[in-house]
Amino acid sequence: MIRAAVAFTLLAWAGGAAADALDRIRESGTVRLAVREDAAPLSFLRDGAPAGVTVEICLRLVERLAEQLGVEALEPAFVIVDAETRFAAVADGEADLLCGAATVTLARRGMVDFSIPVFVDGASVLTLEGGPDDFADLAMKRVGVRAGTTTARALRATLGRAGIQAAVVEVDDHAEGLAHVRDGVVDAYFADQSILMSLALAAPPEPRLNVSGNVLSVEPQALAMALGETRLRLEVDRALSRMWRAGEIAAVFERAFGPIPPGDILQALGLLAPIPE
């Protein structure tokens, strides 16, 4: 009798555990996407609507998931988050996927799971066309950086390790950094490559700007989901791998960054990220 009761309890527990995020998505017909409002060009709000590279990737991903799950269609439902609430949104079950700019780190993997990479970022430099393109070329130059950021600390540390003497000019925001480059106040502006691409695309056509294809750090970015959602992670990785191989993610980059070619590491990601069938 006791054995029967234990067996019944285990079966009931197993049945309840089977209702995971993938089941909820199939039954509800919606995929809840957490999107950043302030992380252009990857995830931001344009006229109140979610936009950006990772948002566009996620919208195509939703279509792929519908095909893989054998349902007619899935609808995206957006959950707006910021830098402080983004991981809690998926960890607490408010959203199924975080489609913002999220660098994969070991510390964060203790809170959430990640998909295969969808983007790679890293610190780089923005200059006038013909300006210094390599970090070593910054010797005896004026380099702008946003004050109080990890990027500012990384810049000083890297200059020190390389024995490069350069004048570091701190600015209040990226717009000021861009203005300093265009006006010749600084020779280069140091920030994440994706941010520099966004600045260059939004700037007037003259003077012409250049974003270096080199990066000083490598920060793979991926879609986050709740810990333990292995079935959802498998289907997400399957969809993203197929999107990489089909050139769909590269097409998103081309639409987003236009005439600015992706850096070498971002190009290599298209070969390294997809998982074979």
pLDDT (tens digit per residue) in 62-111? 999 999 999 999 999 999 998 889 999 999 999 999 998 788 989 999 99
Round to whole Å and give the CA distance between 245 and 274: 7
Q: Please check whether residues 99 and 169 belong to one and the same domain.
A: no
User: What is the reported pLDDT for 189?
Assistant: 96
Which of 171, 190, 211 lies at the terminal end of a domain, its last residue? 211
**What 3-state DSSP class applies to 268?**
helix
Cα pseudo-dihedral 195, 62, 21, 89, rounded to 10: 30
How do residues 120-157 score in pLDDT, each as one tens digit? Answer: 988 899 999 999 888 889 999 999 998 987 788 889 98
The reply to whether 14 falls in a domain is no
Round to whole Å and give the CA distance between 154 and 159: 8
User: What is the reported pLDDT for 135?
Assistant: 84
Round to whole Å and give the CA distance between 175 and 222: 27
User: What is the reported pLDDT for 56?
Assistant: 97
Q: Which domain holds residue 225?
A: 19-121+219-272
User: What is the reported pLDDT for 102?
Assistant: 87
Task: Write the CATH number for 60.
Answer: 3.40.190.10
Q: Mean pLDDT, to the nearest integer, of 162-174? A: 94
How do residues 241-264 score in pLDDT, each as one tens digit? Answer: 999 999 999 999 999 988 777 778
Q: Please check whether residues 115 and 227 belong to one and the same domain.
A: yes
Tell me how far apart the 2 most distant CA atoms of the chain are, in Å. Answer: 84
User: What is the reported pLDDT for 274?
Assistant: 97
Q: How many domains does the chain divide into?
A: 2
Q: pTM of this prediction?
A: 0.81
Please, what is the average pLDDT of the chain?
89
- Terminal Cα-to-Cα distance of the chain (whole angstroms): 47
Q: Please check whether residues 91 and 226 belong to one and the same domain.
A: yes
Q: Please check whether residues 166 and 130 belong to one and the same domain.
A: yes
The reply to whether 277 falls in a domain is no
Give residues with Cβ within 8 angstroms of 184, minimum separation 6: 128
How do residues 199-245 score in pLDDT, each as one tens digit? Answer: 998 899 899 999 988 888 888 999 999 999 999 999 999 999 999 99
Q: Please check whether residues 116 and 138 belong to one and the same domain.
A: no
**What 3-state DSSP class applies to 49?**
strand
Residue in the structure block whose two tokens are 């203790």:
110
The reply to whether 7 falls in a domain is no
How do residues 101-116 score in pLDDT, each as one tens digit? Answer: 788 989 999 999 999 9
Task: Decide if 65 contacts 74 (C-beta within 8 A).
Answer: yes
Q: From residue 94, give the alpha-carbon distance in Å to each of 36, 37, 69, 77, 149.
A: 14, 17, 22, 11, 29
* Nearest one of 153, 194, 186 to 43, comparing CA atoms: 194
The reply to whether 244 falls in a domain is yes
Place 19 in a pLDDT band, splitting at 50, 70 and 90: low
User: What is the reported pLDDT for 13?
Assistant: 40
Q: Please check whether residues 165 and 186 belong to one and the same domain.
A: yes
